[in-house]
Amino acid sequence: MGTDLSVVNAARVSYDKKSEELTDGDRRLIAFLAREGHSSPFRHAFLQFEIYAPLMIARQWHKHVIGSDHSFNAHNESSRRYVTEEPTFHVPYADEWRSKPENSKQGSGVPIDESEGTYLTEELFDYILRGEQLYGEAMARGVAPEQARLFLPAYAMYIRWYWSASLQAVCHLLNQRLASDSQYEFQQYAKAVLELARPHFPESIDALVGKDG
């Protein structure tokens, strides 16, 4: 909802001025607002995304919602209390397993040996398959879906949700999750958010995130 003009007009309303088309002066104003940390005008434009991602990403994403007391955020997730859609899981390929970093408590290091990765991928497949079997058995025995889901391996499982947020909140997420030390999988989602958002707010995103973001 909105465009770069929404930001400009929100900033200029105190002077009872309004732009009908984006001018070079408006572009300079957006750059000034971003540079000087005048963030409130960026909260008058909104974006909504439907996201499908593993739970390990969804829980990190949700931190941006509950931790944003400065900007509008909303998060509504599909629930296996009510729906029984086919479970889908994230399983890294053998060459995608990463080592623990040497100098940090979080993040990833270099890729591990592919033979080790092959073993881990096979073990994870077996683990997920067993969980799916137990889940199906519980459902067949008449167990409520909200309890049967306990058998599903959680962090690898894909879930679906809607995320609605102000332009400022979206750019805040992008600045954090496009960073090189962010979890690789989350970086890929952040790149997708940037690709979808930039055409709608090119000047604001260039100002808040950077042209090379």
Reported confidence tier of residue 26, pLDDT bands at 50, 70, 90: very high
Of the listed ranges 66-80, 136-150, 167-181, 194-208, the least confidently predicted one is 66-80
* pTM listed for this prediction: 0.81
Average pLDDT over residues 15-43: 91
- Residue 79 pLDDT greater than 80, yes or no: no
Q: Is 80 a catalytic residue?
A: no
Of the listed ranges 34-43, 62-71, 147-156, the least confidently predicted one is: 62-71
pLDDT tens readout for residues 98-129: 888 777 667 788 888 999 999 999 999 999 99
Q: DSSP string of 27-39?
A: HHHHHHHHHHT--
Give me the amino acid identity at 122. Answer: E
For residues 11 and 29, the answer to whether their CB atoms sit within 8 Å is: yes
Q: Which of 12, 149, 177, 198 is catalytic?
A: 177
3-state secondary structure 99-129: CCCCCCCCCCCCECCHHHHHHHHHHHHHHHH
Average pLDDT over residues 75-98: 77
Range 74-99 average pLDDT: 77
Report the pLDDT value the prediction gives residue 74, as an integer from 0 to 100.
67
